[in-house]
Amino acid sequence: MSKRSAIRRDYLLAQEVIISPGRAARPKNHKATKPKIDQRVATSCFFCPEKLDYNNVIELLPPNSAKKWQVAAINNIYPAVEMDNQQALGKQEVIIDTPRHEQSLADVTIDELAMVLKMYAQRTIALSKQPPLDYILCFKNYGHDAGASLEHSHSQVFATKILPLAIRAELSAARRYRRRTGHCPYCDMIAKEVMAAERLIWQDHNVAVIAPYASRFPYEAWIFPKRHQDNIGQASQVELRSLASGLSLILKQLQTLGMAYNICLHQVISATDQHFVIKVQPRGNIWAGVEIGSGLIVNSMPPEEATVFYRSNLSNI
């Protein structure tokens, strides 16, 4: 592949990215590493089963598992939005990914990871029934560079009545595409990427994992259900396990790089014909003057090379 830069445009949005492989060789001192567990913190962690405030629990998986739970949803005690605050109305929850303090999502089994996704699904369904909420974001921060503030592995659910500008733009672009072609843009994109195979990381009957053409982050990966589904609450148990298999592959490979990452999964309640996707966005690059000043992202890792990197671990899936 050429080491010269190239400008690429997002599949759907009027959003350009500069893929610049040559910049990977520039001098830099920063290196991401796997977070180290502080045993002093571990003994007093309020996400561990022994210290958890069960009065603050919303839901457990498996259900009625008491202190034997695998995944727990709790109220966020430091929320940015609240249902009784008209100035910032919304709901914020924490999902404890595992009862084991030292585990990351890259360490859990596929069945355990599927249970985390099941909790995403169940909280999405529950919050979608609470008007006037209209936007639900399930997300995870891993590593300091991605915004993680606590050791114990956890995700969050953020729900609000407002639609962020980027989400409105994506919905509008999807509607225009559908009016023009009669098709879901993401169904078409999945079909093209699977056929071309150049950026297809992994697939099974239910799921396709791709490195997006105009990746904004080094080693970015998108995990799609092949069946058209509006949100993760519509996924079957078999599909959740396939999604977990694809996600596990990505996270295990990122762990070998010691790279921080964000996982994001959106839903707009009032838009009932979306195609949901789990986006894994590694934080190996630091946005500086070009990115902050112009909004134009420079990515030093071509998605085709990221695909080769991820494929090297397919034997372990």
In the chain, the number of structural domains is 1
Residue-by-residue DSSP string for 221-257? EEEEESS--SSGGG--HHHHHHHHHHHHHHHHHHHHH
Any bridge partners for residue 140, and if so which? 263
Domain hosting residue 219, numbered range:
32-316
| 8 located within any domain | no
| 14 located within any domain | no
Return mean pLDDT, the chain: 91
3-27, pLDDT tens digit by residue? Answer: 789 999 999 998 899 999 876 544 3
| 222 located within any domain | yes
Give pLDDT, residue 149. 86
* CATH number, domain with residue 79: 3.30.428.10
215-271, pLDDT tens digit by residue? Answer: 999 999 999 999 999 999 999 999 999 999 999 999 999 999 999 999 999 999 999
Q: How confident is the model at residue 297 (pLDDT cuts 50, 70, 90)?
A: confident
DSSP single-letter state for residue 82: B
| 9 located within any domain | no
| 1 located within any domain | no
This prediction has a pTM of: 0.93
Q: What whole-number percentage of the chain has pLDDT above 90?
A: 80
Backbone angles phi, psi at 5, to 5 degrees: -70, 155
Please state, in angstroms and rounded to a whole number, the distance separating the CA atoms of residues 18 and 24.
Answer: 13
| 4 located within any domain | no
63-119, pLDDT tens digit by residue? Answer: 988 889 999 999 999 999 999 999 999 999 999 999 999 999 999 999 999 999 999
| 7 located within any domain | no
Residue type, 13: L
| 18 located within any domain | no
Q: How far is CA 310 from CA 39, 250, 254, in A?
A: 32, 7, 9
